[in-house]
Amino acid sequence: MKHFCDLPIPVIREIIGKTWAISEKLDGSYMRAGIDENGRFYTARKGSAVYYDFTDWPDLAWTNYFRSAHIALEEVFFTLQQHNRVDPGDYLDFEVIAGEMPNSINYGLFGANTLWITGGSMPYGSMAISGKELFRFDGTQSSMGFIKVASNFIRTMDGKSAYRERKETNWSIRKTNELWVDPKDFFDDRTQNIKTWLDVTVEFRGHEINHGDFLDLKLNRKPEFITDEDWKANRLEIIAAAKDRREKLRGDFEILCNVAARAMKSKLSTDYLRKPRNPADIEGTVVKTFRTEVNGNTTTSIPVIFKMVDKEHFAPLNNFTHIVRYWLQGGRRPERPSFWSRTQDWPEQKRLDRLEVLRRRYQRGKYSMDHKSRFGKVSYANWDLDQRTLLLFAELKERIQNGRNGIQGQSSSNQQGRDYPHAEVGSS
């Protein structure tokens, strides 16, 4: 999902004048739950396998909460099936808030272990069961109360070795709500400031061009306002100067976007959206609107969905909380080749020794991010978040020692079997 300031400039110019539907951007993990065409319950993540049983999930620490959530949602969909409220092919999309601080936003004790419904094929607002609504929401809280699940969690004390412990998790189900706003009113004068800023003109090589058009400038071909003679004689100089000017304008534009994102976050404490303790406990917002496309005599409304996140605050925090894990095993945005890929050809003991050095650095809070920057002392505010990083050290050690993807001697089939009662659905 693109950030507002990364949308094409013509789109930004148009949607500022449209009505926006805003909802909170949750800092959790996507999970889909549903009933397949054969009537079987399943869960899945984006681009992942389909899991029909919680024992199908990989036997790794990162699935601790996913396995637990699978059990909870299986109970929910079983109840829906019993009352004929779900058909084959139906599904719901959830944002899983695992623990108090699943990534970079602290949801606190009362926001932890929440399954937020963000969409799906089912009319989840009110599902009547014998006159009672299973999903009757008061604000965002479901009337069905808590779902208690007992399952095995992989834990570690120090990042050297892992163990399992029985853990009870109380899951709540909530839904995201949309608030329809006029951005001009919602941001006071901030969106107008963005629109005005885009129209401000600057001089470049004797020509005037506005900020918006400069940001949208394509330098793989001659800009229209540059003469053929100037382009032919000074192409490299023009490209270098334009890139430098565009980078500075991009920085100014992102500052304006961050201010607008902060303004949106501060307005989210309404009766229709989650009430955080302070704006820092919100990652940002998801915005849905539309743009108009005219083709001859036909006018079409094209949906536009984007996020507004205060990059100045959230991005550095998010990058830090993930950088150690990215650097160790790689990921979508590794800062450099990961420890795992760089040491594939090393002898086993050398890899283990290096991993231990990195674990000690992490424990001291002096972990080198890359060749150019280094964080000083850092303390994690949440035990669950620290556990995820320490468990990665323990699991990588196990993988080096025995070549397995899981923890040595602990397979999902014999450790995660159904040796507990069904999940319990509490009352509100």
- The tens digit of pLDDT for each residue in 39-92 reads 999 999 987 789 999 999 998 888 999 999 999 999 888 888 887 778 899 898
Domain end point (choices 220, 237, 266): 266
Question: What pLDDT does residue 239 have?
Answer: 93
The reply to whether 10 falls in a domain is: no
Q: Which residues of the chain have pLDDT under 50?
A: 128-132, 137-141, 271-272, 334, 366-381, 405-428
The reply to whether 288 falls in a domain is: no
Q: Tell me which residue of 189, 187, 200, 185 sits closest to 252, measured CA to CA.
A: 200
Question: What pLDDT does residue 182 have?
Answer: 79
The CA distance from 372 to 109, in Å, is 37
Same domain assignment for residues 428 and 307: yes
Same domain assignment for residues 131 and 200: no
Residue showing tokens 């996140």: 309
**Helices 190-199, 228-266: inter-axial angle, 10-degree rounding:** 180
Under 8 Å CB-to-CB from 321, ≥6 apart: which residues?
A: 103, 104, 385
Same domain assignment for residues 193 and 146: no
pTM, two decimals, is: 0.76
The reply to whether 75 falls in a domain is: yes
Exposed/middle/buried for residue 67 (C-beta within 10 Å: 0-12, 13-18, 19+):
buried
Question: What pLDDT does residue 47 have?
Answer: 78
Angle at 98 between CA 96 and CA 100, to 5 degrees: 130
The reply to whether 44 falls in a domain is: yes
The reply to whether 277 falls in a domain is: no
Same domain assignment for residues 149 and 166: yes
Under 8 Å CB-to-CB from 224, ≥6 apart: which residues?
A: none
Provide the domain limits for residue 103. Answer: 26-177+303-428
The reply to whether 363 falls in a domain is: yes
Under 8 Å CB-to-CB from 260, ≥6 apart: which residues?
A: 4, 187, 190, 191, 194, 308
Same domain assignment for residues 171 and 192: no
Q: Are 106 and 100 in contact (CB under 8 A)?
A: yes
Domain end point (choices 266, 284, 314): 266
Question: What pLDDT does residue 80 have?
Answer: 82
Same domain assignment for residues 154 and 201: no
Number of other residues whose CB lies within 10 A of the CB of residue 363: 14
How high is the mean pLDDT of the chain?
78
The reply to whether 17 falls in a domain is: no
Domain tally, the chain: 2
Domain end point (choices 266, 282, 313): 266
Indicate the SS3 state at residue 330.
coil
The CA distance from 144 to 147, in Å, is 8
The CA distance from 409 to 393, in Å, is 17
What is the CB-side half-sphere exposure of residue 174 using CA atoms within 13 A?
Answer: 22
Same domain assignment for residues 188 and 151: no
Q: Tell me which residue of 266, 275, 190, 219 sits closest to 4, measured CA to CA.
A: 190
Same domain assignment for residues 254 and 117: no
DSSP 152-185: EEEEESSSS-EEEEEEEEEEEEEE---EEE-HHH
The reply to whether 1 falls in a domain is: no
Same domain assignment for residues 64 and 192: no
Identity of the amino acid at 212: G
Same domain assignment for residues 186 and 170: no
Question: What pLDDT does residue 420 have?
Answer: 31
Number of other residues whose CB lies within 10 A of the CB of residue 330: 16
Same domain assignment for residues 89 and 125: yes
Same domain assignment for residues 101 and 192: no
The CA distance from 311 to 292, in Å, is 28
